[in-house]
Amino acid sequence: MKQRPDWTDEQWYAEDLTSVAGVQRLRFFPQVIASGSGSILTTPEGREVIDLSASWTATGLGHAHPHVVAAAERALRAAPGGSVLSGTHPDAVQLARALCERVEVVAPVGERRAYLGHAGTDANDVALRAARHVTGRPGIVAFEGGYHGGLGGSQSVSGIHISGGVAADPDLTLVPYPDLYRPWQDSADTLLVDTLARVEAALANGTVAAVIVEPIQSDGGVLVPPDGFLTGLRETTQRHGALLIIDEVKVGLGRTGHFLAHHAEGVVPDLVTLGKALGNGLPISALVGPAAALDEPAASALMTTTGNPVSCAVALAVLELLDDGALTESAVRLGDQAAATLRDHASSDRPGAGWIGQVRGRGLSIGVELVHPGGREPADDIAAKTALAGWRAGVIAYPVRGNIIEVTPPLTITPEELGTGLEHMLVALDAAVLGEVSNAEIAAFTGW
């Protein structure tokens, strides 16, 4: 197809609707992007917008990061094949070694293995199969509102999909995620005890292979669990001979102020999955675990381009950029800045102030809850209208769980860019509350 540089943003989006499959569209506004640099994205018409999503954290180190670009260019020019399927190459070996060294699991470094995949979906799918293989058990415990993949086995244990009509894994037990933000919740201690008791009951009959959990439930509403939750899961799974799989696909790699989000509790899981930011926009995921779980059965998790040199080189560059801890530390400072800005707005006299319920999260994984003033009734329509108005105002931020606007900008965003982006978002909230976005305008975007 011949390039059409003269097309408008609207023309490009209209063409998308008649050519790209609807099954892979999750749209909240007519977003079309031609290029990006850092935290700034540019449309085909040249309009600049501030990215407060980082492509659902997939471009977690910013768009076109020079170190990442250099790594990709080097790998493309060398081009040592397309995968690790029937042979290997240095970048894949180095990446697997780097992951085994950096991601602590129950096995020592020499007895760890790294599966290299395309996305969190297949990494979690392989993790589930590995747990079933090594334990000989069929059962899986997961959590309501959890997101572990968009296809296959990992989708079938994702509470957020099952509640939307996807068939659940026949051996799945779903447990409520400990939601500290429910208005009727008495105390964190009570919630923690109740949740762990439910997990204990699910594991009691000895048929469960693994518990899979997000250390912060992102798409389920940016829920930070009570202290002791992951520790309790670790103790419970060990007591019953089940594995603990921690899904770091969305919140891992520096975003929460820790290299991996579960490091906040210091637990050591059996299996850890990574994705999204690992490739900074390129398709790559990883699963780290014991050799006993990941070496057998041989040739049982095959995709022709997994472990390809370009994605591996980029992932190595991402790990190198995170090694000194500067971006991880910055995520804490920037997260504090964002939370303060949002809470200041909530206590102001601006139109949208009374619609902000809670501001929650950790580091640069932040959720802004929108509720009807004077109560806690979710304001899903206002969240959808805020997202659309935000795009028009020059910012990208998406709703999750209906009434939560998620703020997950690139870790490389500057304080000034973050401040400007948040102000655009809050202007958009004011516009939504004032009725400047109609129901008809948001009806074209199905969202979740």
Hey, what are 318's tokens? Answer: 């991402």
Q: Whole-angstrom Cα distance, residue 125 to residue 72? A: 27
Which residue among 13, 115, 147, 181 is the active-site one? 147
Active site residue 115: no
Nearest-5° Cα angle at 276, 271 to 282: 125
Degrees to nearest 5, angle at CA 399 with 394 and 403? 125
Q: What whole-number distance in Å separates Cα of residue 395 and Cα of residue 405? A: 12
Specify whether the CB–CB gap between 51 and 39 falls below 8 A: yes
Distance, in Å, from the CA atom of 270 to the CA atom of 294, rounded to the nearest integer, reads 11
293-297 own/partner pairs: CB under 8 Å, 24+ apart: 293/113, 293/130, 293/131, 293/133, 293/134, 293/243, 294/113, 294/114, 294/115, 294/126, 294/130, 295/113, 296/133, 297/133
Residue type, 393: A
Measured between its terminal Cα atoms, the distance across the chain in Å is 31
Q: Known catalytic residues?
A: 147
